[in-house]
Structure 1
Amino acid sequence: MTDADRFSAWREKLWSAAVSGDEHAATDAALAALDQDLSLESLLLEVVAPVQARVGREWESNRITVAQEHTATAVNERVLAALARHPSARAAASGPTAGRIAVACIDGEWHAMPARILSEVLRLRGWRVDYLGAQMPTPQLISHLHRTACDVVALSSSIPTRLPTAHAAITACQATGTPVMVGGAAFGPDGRYARLLGADAWAPHGRAAADRLAAGPLPRPPAARLAVDDLPHLEDQEYTLVSRSARSLVREVMAGLEARIPAMADYTPRQRRHTAEDVAHIVDFLTAALYVNDPELFGRFLAWTAGVLSARGVPAVSLLPALEILGGRLEDFPRASALIVHGRDTVRAASPEISTVPVRGKST
């Protein structure tokens, strides 16, 4: 049996246990894999991490419920806790130290699993790891760096709407003299936003991050650097004005949808709440795209949303009315208007039929 076959077999065992909520079976499967000569690092990176990624994909495709998604994530967290206490993990922790690293999620980022897996891999590689968990406020992170004098900080984020916060955190960490490695889907499929925001290194996954750190110390950041210097396009103030008016934009789009679509008068509170949440997400991702000046960020979000809606029986073109109304409210903002045009084109490409169905309509 090849390594790929072994990994696949253990993934299926862990997946079955996790999605059914059986933490004992999941833990037993993980420990059995170690007993059959699968290394702890391979188990973390080739089994646990892919299973957790599958949890997200299955929810997106509407093949598991939100409750099952939460359950599977909780089970995988318990598996990680059990693996962290395994003798091989303890042995690595007692060996020579490669350095000290703080691993944290950006403030507002609650997807902590990638950071937790990275922490365990780095411990196996000999690092002293300060795992600071999800939603780490930047001021407290900086206090930790001053107190501990970590050699490097690794920041994780899966949600692109946290990129402005990530930028502030990167700059603040570097101001302490600490180099910053970043990772996670928020930084783009090729790490483009990591480079744009001035991170000292980017890694697409845990093994790449560990390998980069093993290759030698990251370059020390400049003594002084202002975050605004990285993004001269922000001088037009579009990001600032749109982000400050986000709540009012959501209210205006909701009012416009209600005026345009009489059927919304019969929406249940739950349907109305879902519609408002979808509109808020559109505004949030538009704002993030303005921050990094990349229409593809907005387009990727809308393509993903179109897929999520379609999997639930809601036509992708149901996004168009909200985009059209939002575009009308922002017609005096050239960059925002261009982003919305790109977004409309993305949605039409995903679902070419014409419709006036509202965002997250009555089928929800």
Structure 2
Amino acid sequence: MSSHDVDSAATRAVATDLAQVREQLWGAVIDCDEYAAVATIYAAMDAGVPPEDVLLEVIAPVQQKIGAEWAANRIRIAQEHAATAINDRAVAALAHHPAGRTTAHTGKVTVACVDGEWHALPARLLAETLRLRGWQVDFLGAQVPTPHLIAHLHQSGPDAVALSCSIPTRLPTAHAAITACQAAGVAVLAGGAAFGPDGRFARQLGADAWAPDARAAAELLAEGFLSTHLSSNRQPIDDLPHLVDQEYTTVSQTATQLITETLATLESRIPAMREYSDFERQRTAEDIAHIVEFLVAGLYTDDDELFTGFMLWTAGILAARGVPAATLFPALELLGKQLLEFPRSKRLLDAAKSALAGEKRPATDPQLNT
């Protein structure tokens, strides 16, 4: 047997082992068994699996499966929250295992989610990956108000800040945070699903660099992106030419009115809605609010795919729950009538209707980076 054959066999064995560990961890989190989850990752590390592989090839894929199972309506939202919490505890436990400790010192990084972003696990995975590689990390967690973040940067003086944003509706807030961090003299590494699979919004909003995942982010930092990228992509926060038309500002400021009028008109046109319970009415209002929020985000970035991606994902969620995608069209039509004088809004709404009619579904959840 050649050395190549030996290496290939070893690679297959490791992949099989990781697959088994993933299945064990999935069983633990879905059973809400924190002790079994921690025991699973400890056993893997005791057997020689590198902590970074446990983080990114076991815990991260299990988190993706949690989101996929919820989207497919195979687990309830409470199960999704409980499983995510256990996964988070597993990450914390990994950091305390002897194999997860290091005495190296590479530099200092602050990792934080932008204000309003509650999906903290992707940022947590990055923080622990950087720690394993010798970085001193200040992990600030979910929903960090920009003024508090800037105060922390002034106090701690990190080499860089890694900003995580998974929900596209938080991109305007992310833009403000990026600019504020740079004004404080700290380079920004952006990451998370909200910035797009190709990082288009990170570039548009002026981040110094973007990474698609934790390993890529760690490698960028190790390669010294601070010196090669700093100031190369920066722009003033108001330097998005398409915002001159004020559509984003006007639609965002009238969002409540749009939601209220759309809901009221739907109730007057669809008799069955008059029999809705308070809970059903509240859920319908929330669905309309999400549509308006993503429309606003689409106007901020001037990107059709951001809005259509959300609408297609929503159609998939509804279909998994036995609700036809056609139920989305009345809300889009009513919003269009209220926004007749706004050409970019009309373009986004028309693009979404065309996409829904074609039933082209996105491969990933536009709200999550798991």
Normalised to the residue count of structure 2, the TM-score between the two structures is 0.92
Alignment partners' CA distance in 1, 2:176 and 2:137:
23
SS in 1 for 2:306: helix
**Residue of structure 2 in register with 1:112 after alignment:** 120
User: 1:4: how far off?
Assistant: 2.2
Which residue does 1:176 correspond to in 2? 184
Map of 2:237 onto structure 1: 227
Q: Distance in 1 between matches of 2:16 and 2:165?
A: 31
Contact 1:177–1:220 (8 Å) recurs in 2:
no
- Matched with 1:331 is 340
2:302 aligned with 1:296: no
- Could you list the per-position Cα deviations for residues 218-255 of structure 1 after superposition, in whole angstroms to 9, with x for gaps in the alignment? 233379842111x1100000000000001110001001
Specify the alignment match of 1:212 in structure 2: 220
**Counterpart in the other structure of 2:29:** 18
Counterpart in the other structure of 2:61: 50
Q: Which amino acid aligns with 1:75?
A: I
Which of 142, 146, 153 is matched with 2:154 structurally?
Answer: 146
Displacement of 1:14 after TM fit?
0.3
Counterpart position of 2:136: 128
**Would you say the 8 A contact 1:178–1:220 is kept in 2?**
no
AA in 2 matched with 1:181: L
Q: Deviations over 1:286-322 (max 9, x none)?
A: 0000000001000000010000000000001110000
Number of corresponding residues = 347
Q: Gaps (5+ residues) in structure 2?
A: 1-11, 361-370
Q: How far apart are the structure 2 equivalents of 1:6 and 1:164?
A: 42
SS in 1 for 2:113: strand
Amino acid at match of 1:38: V
Deviation sequence 1:155-176 (CA, Å, 0-9, x none): 0011000000000000000011
Equivalent position amino acid for 2:178 in 1 = I
Contact 2:114 2:173 in 1 (8 A): yes
TM-score (norm 1): 0.93
Q: What letter matches 1:249 in structure 2?
A: L
Question: Larger relative CO (CA 8 A, sep 6+): 1 or 2?
Answer: 2
**Aligned partner of 1:98 among 76, 85, 106:** 106
Deviation at 1:89, TM superposition (A): 2.4
Choose which of 244, 253, 266 in structure 2 pairs with 1:257.
Answer: 266
Check conservation: 1:62, 1:311, Cα contact below 8 A. yes
State the distance in 2 between where 1:54 and 1:202 align: 25
Q: Is this contact kept in 2: 1:161–1:288, CA < 8 A? A: yes
CA RMSD of aligned residues (A): 1.3
> 1:258, 1:264 within 8 Å by CA — same for their partners in 2?
yes
Displaced runs of 4+ in structure 1, greater than 4 A? Answer: 222-225
Cα deviation digits, residues 294-352 of structure 1 (max 9, x gap): 0100000001000000000000111000000000000100000010000111111229x
1:164 alignment counterpart: 172
Question: Is 2:312–2:355's contact at 8 Å kept on the other side of the alignment?
Answer: yes
Alignment-derived partner of residue 307 in structure 1: 316
Q: Structure 1, unaligned stretches of length 5 or more? A: 352-364
Q: Once the 2 structures are TM-superposed, how far is the Cα of residue 8 of structure 1 from its aligned partner?
A: 1.3
| Cα contact 2:208–2:234 (8 A) shared by 1 | no
C-alpha deviation, 1:3, in angstroms = 2.7
The letter of the residue matching 1:12 is E
Identical residues among aligned pairs (%): 57
3-state DSSP of counterpart to 2:224: coil
1:190 and 1:59 map into 2 onto residues whose CA distance is 25
1:2 partner SS: helix
The one-letter amino acid paired with 2:93 is A
2:282 is matched with which residue: 273, 279, 289?
273
- Where does residue 354 of structure 1 map in the other structure? none
